[in-house]
Amino acid sequence: MQVIFQPMGVACAADGGESILALAERAGVAIERVCGGRGTCGKCLVRVSGEVSEVTEAERHFLSPQALADGYRLACQARALADLEIVVPDVSRVAEVSILTGGVANDLTLDPWVSRHTLSVPPATLDDPVADWEAVRRLWEQEGLGALRPTLRAMRELPAALRANGGQITLLQVDDEVVRVEPGERVDPLLGIAYDIGTTTVVGYLMDLETGQELSVASELNPQTRYGDDVVSRIQHADEHPQGIETLQRAIVETLGRILIDTTAQIQVQPDDVLAITVVGNTTMQHLLLGISPTYLAQSPYVPAVTRAVNLKAAEIGLEAHPDAHVWVMPSIAGWVGGDTVGLLLATGIYEQDEVALAIDIGTNGEMALGSRQRLITCSAAAGPAFEGAHISCGMRAAQGAIDTVEIDHKVHWTAIGGGMPRGICGSGLVDVIGELLRVGVIDPRGKLVEPGVVETAGYPALAAQIEGENRHRSFAVVSPDEGAEGRPVLLTQRDIRELQLAKGAIRSGIEILMRELGVGADDVRRVYLAGAFGNYVRPESAVAIGMVPHFRRAEMLAVGNAAGSGAKMALLSRTARARAIELLVQVEYLELSGRPDFQEQFAEAMLF
Ligand code: FES
């Protein structure tokens, strides 16, 4: 059997019985799969010509009878039974994501864990037939460099290097281990790479360890999105498939390898030249990188297998850097407050400030920390994927064609990423549009889209005309079909508003409970750091307007970009920062929200606008 995917024109052979999603994966065709192929997101829409399996319950839930009659199916549900032609519509194609690679630059004293030592070793003679390493050791000790610990690979390199340049060699040392020996005096920069493994995107920053300069950056979509967009679907994938953990680990390690090749090629050096590596990610991403089962992270009491920093060699996880390059994985605080939050704390320096600050990274989970040098508390609020555009009818990630800002006077004004006609709405656009509709009274404080008549009477006839349907089925057309890509409108439905209420309610409850625990009010908070892509793009006024964050009247609001990545860079450039990250595990308190008796009540209140 043969299956052809259009409009890519990619063909793939099929045995029959495989899902279209599995075939697409084999053919290298990227289809949206927010739920990881479980039939619960409805995002993997395709149009099929040819014989496929019976329509499933999940398809009946997401597709109208008309859509089914037109040949639309969910790729994860429909199985190929004969030759097929499959059209992947624009909405289901994985778009290029605009990835945030900027971040805060924190003042830092360079103190890298890679160093170089050039030595001129006198040759052995018949009178003094000293072994090569012993000759090196003599000089090493004379120079007060401490204990000399070469790796086996370095031992192999020494004899030839020693004789290639009249006894002059350069030893490259990572922490207390000599990992490389080169003939002559090496002047090339010492290199390290800091990785930030996000649930959606992975970024690598190649750094000059002696100057602290960022030499190149590369990023890719996290390939594990293939197995589910969110952390929970990936944990389920790891659990439910015999080789699940290995598959997820291999996928991420290969991506780190490609990023390494890309960043080193940009400055014309070899991946082998990179000797120090740091990694940050949420606890699940870090577990999967290490090939450790994340199963128990998803089960109460949500404990990780490891929280301490992990030191290993690149070869141990199959990463194609220098095999003896040291990889340092950031410590995590708890199952849902990971190394990325430790990176955020390092980058903002909130742990050493006198005044109270809030640092918050909003994604599928809102990880947050509140406090100062006296006391610092963290928690994680399960916001769900609404801020990333999932479970929202016209939601999408912050990619080409996503509406990212909205303003309303008597009409709706929007901007879309990359210009052009909008295809959907991303998290920051969603927060904006709901904030603005609340302000003009199209949405009431309980979150209900009001009747068009009421909006018209309030003096907004154009907005009233954009409201359609009744009660639970009411929606607001942010973009009309004439303005939208492929003649499709961008709608905000009553259900979308409820999804956003759940998400923002979770974040707000987390903040309120942290404030209560610390015994401070909104006016005591002097700085608010908003991290991550969403934090960078969302307008603070809109976040306040929808009540996602309290009105911090005396606080400075700072978008800090990819703070987790900045933390990874700091740990790469400074042994002190690395040690600080480890100490933070002792200093920082963790609060498990689901264990708080006041959480439900707080959450119900925080859902209101
Ligand atoms: S419904 Fe098919 S991937 Fe989610």
Going from the Cα of 33 to the center of ligand 1, the distance in angstroms, rounded, reads: 5
- Spatial neighbors of 243 by CB under 8 A, at least 6 apart, are none
Tens-digit pLDDT profile for residues 308-351: 999 999 999 999 999 999 999 999 999 999 999 999 999 999 99
**Cα–Cα nearest to 568, from 353, 378, 329, 379:** 329
Q: What is the 3-state secondary structure (H, E, C) of 422-461?
A: CCEECHHHHHHHHHHHHHCCCECCCCCECCHHHHHHCCCH
pLDDT (0 to 100) of residue 107: 64
Within the chain, which residues score under 70 in pLDDT? 34, 94-107
Nearest CA to ligand 1 atom 1: 39
Ligand 1 center–CA 39 separation, angstroms: 4
How many C-beta neighbours within 10 Å does residue 271 have?
21
Contact 582, 205 (CB under 8 A): no
Mapping DSSP to helix (H, G, I), strand (E, B) and coil, where does residue 227 land? helix
* Location of structure tokens 């889209």: 449
Phi and psi based region of residue 522 (left: phi greater than 0; alpha: psi -120 to 50; beta: remaining): alpha
171's enclosing H/E stretch is strand 168-174
**What's the CA-to-centroid distance between 26 and ligand 1, angstroms?**
17
Q: Using the atom order of ligand 1, give the atom closest to the CA of residue 31.
A: 3
Q: How far does the centroid of ligand 1 lie from the alpha carbon of residue 534, in Å?
A: 24
Neighbours of 472 (CB within 10 A): 11
Element (H, E) at 289: helix 283-290
Say what the pLDDT of residue 97 is. Answer: 44
0.85 exceeded by pTM: no
Mutate to test the pocket of ligand 1, among 76, 79, 86, 233 (most ligand atoms within 8 A of CB): 76
Give, for ligand 1, the residue of 38, 46, 233, 391 to mutate: max count of ligand atoms closer than 8 Å to Cβ: 38
Q: Which two tokens stand for residue 241?
A: 């498939």
Sorted by where each starts, the structural domains of the chain and their CATH numbers stand as: 2-92 (3.10.20.30), 114-183 (3.10.20.880), 191-329 (3.30.420.480), 349-385+500-606 (3.30.420), 395-494 (no CATH)
Least Cα distance to 360 among 508, 201, 535, 521 occurs for 535
| Token couple for 476 | 């607001």
Beta strands of 507-586 (E only): which ranges?
525-531, 556-561
